[in-house]
Structure 1
């Protein structure tokens, strides 16, 4: 990033941090369980854009937007809230050679783990999805539809999810020519823009069978299939110095449409940081939990946090 642009981003982050200190609403939303502030003295730590949890909410893989990942364990208190994070080394994803993914092609944003452990990763910049039989191993390139090349470089394949049958779904954060989040202006998404195309990968082929309905200024940044078979989508809206608002909706996935849309969570602006990753699982009580992770953009004024809610309905 050019020096002048970097300074501009840091200045904007300072405004966001100032706004968060003054605007955060102390009244938490129904189902809120806790926020764990995660900090590690390692320059490679941060920028987390995706998280995947095991079925019991303990083992995790977190992915950042510089082509790196970390795996570990969430320690939980007796009431189920996160009390500590035990992590392994931060590692870089490899390309289809034995080398790390090159800078300029390594903006990894979404993660989806199949039942057999195969991991899929989606990217911005050069929009595509890679498959890893072993996350420490070499990447395999999935086919890339020409339409992926038209997505905005910084608003492409943020969301990636896999269903119980092993079918992949990915959603761009925004579309060509649409207004989107602008860090320096606080301009939100375009409420009058088109719906977001949902792309599906099955039997070796990508198709675009339906759209995610746009609703207001929120933009999709992560997705996961819950244990109930529904597709959960994490969306965010940036409100300038006031900070971020987050929302989670879920849908039934049909052959030709998303149906039965439900709003599960919508946080006040400034309640949390830049939540970008979502994992959905069922706890010991039988309730569905939403575990989300924030992207600090590798800026010390911002924060990395893991936020959890229990669905009340």
Structure 2
């Protein structure tokens, strides 16, 4: 999460002390009649007394929707499980939690802690992207030391707080990385794919308006689901989710599934896709509360229709 967003939220709170976050059903967001869209199934606030709780910027959910892992932009991770009734989330229960470590095994500190993207491979190894010191690291165990992952020359040129927000891994084990900024409102976002030991940069995602990518996942249907965020000082956060088909030539057939109004949701930064017992694709989102008292950590879950 970029630090200037925290400053913006704080300034708004100071200027308008009577305003608290307004949370409305995201399923009220307008979608064309009959078009593919999302239906909200549950919305659950998550609280815990852990000193490093909050700031969750990426999410993984197990294929059956029972377990989760989140990472924090203060260099920590937590995992746990969902308590559900009739398939819908009642509560999130934390399990393991710890600070992330560097390649040397020492806990991350200072400007190196800003973890933003998360993807797990078939062997359960976690790939984490970081901002400021822009890099991707692999963790065989999130409690242990990191392992190096090849870099791309572009990574060192990313803006300080606008690096790789989005990591996703497809069924074949190819890692995808997307930065938060494209370099221009009309310029597509580059899509980096780690093929072997080198990043390929031949794919892009069209940039539509002022939304920027914050997370993504491949669904059980093989499609690519992209979570995006926008922000206004006097409006709060807006959330958009687009879906793409994956072809040998790139990401095609863009479909907008959700676009909320500003302030309808909190700062949704993590997305995970999985298949429910009815065979439907579900999307679970988590919010980054910026460690700010007027925000909250939310799990919001949707079913994909169409």
Q: TM-score by structure 2 length?
A: 0.90
Could you give the per-residue CA deviations for residues 70-126 of structure 1, whole angstroms, max 9, x where no partner exists? 011011112x11111111242011111121123211100010001111110011111
Q: CA shift at 1:244, angstroms?
A: 1.0
Q: CA shift at 1:253, angstroms?
A: 2.3
Q: Is the 8 A contact 1:23 1:269 kept in 2?
A: no
What CA distance in whole angstroms lies between the structure 1 residues aligned with 2:16 and 2:266? 10
Gaps (5+ residues) in structure 2? 30-37
Misfit runs of 4+, over 6 Å: 5-8
User: Does the alignment pair 1:264 with 2:257?
Assistant: yes
Could you give the per-residue CA deviations for residues 116-165 of structure 1, whole angstroms, max 9, x where no partner exists? 11110011111111011222221111111121111111111000000111
What CA distance in whole angstroms lies between the structure 1 residues aligned with 2:27 and 2:20? 14
Q: Helix, strand or coil: the match of 2:111?
A: coil
**CA 8–196 in structure 1, closer or farther in 2 if over 3 Å, else same:** closer
Give the structure 2 partner of residue 242 of structure 1.
235
Could you give the per-residue CA deviations for residues 182-224 of structure 1, whole angstroms, max 9, x where no partner exists? xxxxxxxxxx331100000011111101111001111110011
Give the structure 1 partner of residue 194 of structure 2.
201
What CA distance in whole angstroms lies between the structure 2 residues aligned with 1:285 and 1:221? 28
Q: Helix, strand or coil: the match of 1:306?
A: strand
Q: Helix, strand or coil: the match of 1:99?
A: coil
Give the structure 2 partner of residue 308 of structure 1.
301
Q: TM-score by structure 1 length?
A: 0.88
User: Does the alignment pair 1:91 with 2:98?
Assistant: yes
What CA distance in whole angstroms lies between the structure 2 residues aligned with 1:27 and 1:148? 36
What CA distance in whole angstroms lies between the structure 1 residues aligned with 2:234 and 2:282? 29
Gaps (5+ residues) in structure 1? 179-191
What CA distance in whole angstroms lies between the structure 2 residues aligned with 1:123 and 1:17? 33
Give the structure 1 partner of residue 115 of structure 2.
108
Farther off after superposition, 270-279 or 5-14: 5-14
Q: Helix, strand or coil: the match of 1:110?
A: strand
Instruction: Give the paired residue count.
Output: 294
